[in-house]
Amino acid sequence: MTNESTSQKETIAVFGAGGFIGSHMVVALIRAGYRVQAIDLTLEKLEDDWDELNTSDRLEAIDIDIRNHRDRVEEIVRGADIIIDLIAFANPSIYVEDPLGTVDLNLFENLRIVELCHKYDKFLIQYSTCEVYGLAQDREDKVFSEDTSNLILGPINQHRWIYACAKQMLERIVHAYGMMHDLNYIIIRPFNFVGPRIDYLIHSRADGNPRVFSHFMSALLLDKPLPLVDGGKNLRSYVHIADATQAFLIALENRDKLNRQIVNIGTPNNETSIRELAHLVIRLYEEETGKTFTQGTVDIPGEEFYGPGYADIDRRIPDASKMAALGWAPTYDLEATFRESIRYYLEHNTLKAGD
Ligand code: NAD
Ligand code: UGA
């Protein structure tokens, strides 16, 4: 896939390259002709595309824990042209089980990367979250807009909010570096991306507590009821990872226009309650496999499913106009998004019914 005509493009360091978003981003960047340094604890999720990636001399795989290799992290930032930071704990169960670990990684470790970008004058693309908007939907805003919506979080004893709080603090520091020291950056707020390679399948909760699609897919494959937290009454708007990666590429290529801005990446038309989502994925699973799924759903209280300190967000609809103005138009509707996600895990089934 090496394209000599594009070989002059910049070197991009992707921190968190082995995660769900990162693994799609790395392939897209290599295809677009960039040099990529892929940094993560593990790069196993790149294996799906390894045949293609392996033939590129523009990919450098760097499997390190950034907390234990600070000199290496500094060397990477100094040598790259653009820094993308995806590293975070990104599952609500972790925010509830390990709030200190969450703030340590998602704020303090990421802050080191921000400071290095300032020190070496590098362009930073920082992945934040739609969760920073918090409860604003209930209070005043019909859609979440980057520059006008308030950010409203719950009480301290609902420590799920430490994730949004850490991400918000990081955003505020990045903004202040831009104001006071001319740091060049874009902050991206993703709204529930989903698709191939999101999280992992589980036999039971003893294997971990990933995001909702992985729970639903695992339950389908194991022929068990799909767990609905608090009845699945809350709403989310989903973005297929291919659309999300395309939005990222557009933002990257328009980084002069978006410099020192925050952008939502979300698809308002793909809104669903989690209960409706459960029924959609059951139908799609039946269509894809030709099997009949009779287990249905089971309701579980949030604090039982996640533990004390869990809180949920009723609804979050993005104002997607900034990305639309740059020509981004998502192509996957809700059904296509989940059909493809199901197909991927049917082909990559690490579970067996009856386990
Ligand atoms: P992910 O968990 O799949 O990816 C994060 C990656 O960071 C993982 O591969 C993990 O191994 C790596 N990592 C964690 N600690 C590390 C360390 N100490 N050293 C090196 N690598 C480390 O999550 P994702 O869904 O790909 O999300 C990426 C980013 O986007 C995160 O910042 C997340 O908060 C944000 N985000 C994602 C979504 C979404 O819909 N997926 C939504 C909102 C925000
Ligand atoms: C996610 C995570 O915080 C991050 O990935 C990210 O910042 C952000 O939101 C995002 O993806 O934009 P959330 O949407 O709550 O948070 O993540 P899920 O764990 O996928 O939960 C979605 C909904 O499904 C919640 O209402 C949850 O209670 C519910 N749920 C979860 C179930 O009903 N059943 C399950 O088995 C798991």
Q: In 198-351, which ranges are continuous DSSP H helix?
A: 212-222, 241-253, 255-258, 274-289, 302-306, 321-325, 334-347
Catalytic site includes residue 163: yes
Residue 54 has pLDDT above 90, yes or no: no
Q: What is the pTM of this model?
A: 0.96
What span, in angstroms and rounded, lies between the C-alpha atoms of 206 and 352?
16
Ligand nearest to C-alpha 46 = 1
The predicted pLDDT at position 83 comes to 98
* Token couple for 179: 């104001």
Helix (H) or strand (E) holding 173: helix 161-181
* Token couple for 327: 């020509």
Sign of CA pseudo-dihedral 318, 197, 218, 303? negative
Q: Is the CB of 229 under 6 A from ligand 2?
A: yes
What percent of the chain has pLDDT above 90?
A: 91
The predicted pLDDT at position 55 comes to 85
Closest ligand 1 atom to the C-alpha of 42?
11
Q: Is the CB of 16 under 6 A from ligand 1?
A: yes
Residue to probe by mutation, ligand 2, list 191, 229, 297, most atoms within 8 Å of CB: 229
Other Cβ atoms less than 10 A from the Cβ of 261: the count is: 18
What average pLDDT does the chain have?
Answer: 94
One-letter amino acid of 19: G
Closest ligand 2 atom to the C-alpha of 163?
3
What span, in angstroms and rounded, lies between the C-alpha atoms of 32 and 38?
15
The predicted pLDDT at position 336 comes to 98
Residue 6 has pLDDT above 90, yes or no: no
What span, in angstroms and rounded, lies between the C-alpha atoms of 25 and 298?
35
The predicted pLDDT at position 352 comes to 67
What pairs with residue 251 in β-bridges? none
Active-site residue (options: 34, 133, 163, 332): 163
The predicted pLDDT at position 56 comes to 87
Closest ligand 2 atom to the C-alpha of 93?
19
Q: Is the CB of 190 under 6 A from ligand 1?
A: yes
Residue 84 has pLDDT above 60, yes or no: yes
Q: Is the CB of 309 under 6 A from ligand 2?
A: no
Q: Is the CB of 191 under 6 A from ligand 2?
A: yes
Q: Is the CB of 123 under 6 A from ligand 2?
A: no
Q: Mean pLDDT lowest for which of 172-181, 185-194, 310-319, 337-346?
A: 310-319
Average pLDDT over residues 273-292: 98
* Token couple for 40: 């993560």
What span, in angstroms and rounded, lies between the C-alpha atoms of 153 and 133?
8
Residue 353 has pLDDT above 70, yes or no: no
pLDDT band at 8 (very low <50, low <70, confident <90, very high): low
Inter-residue contact 154 to 141 (CB < 8 Å):
no
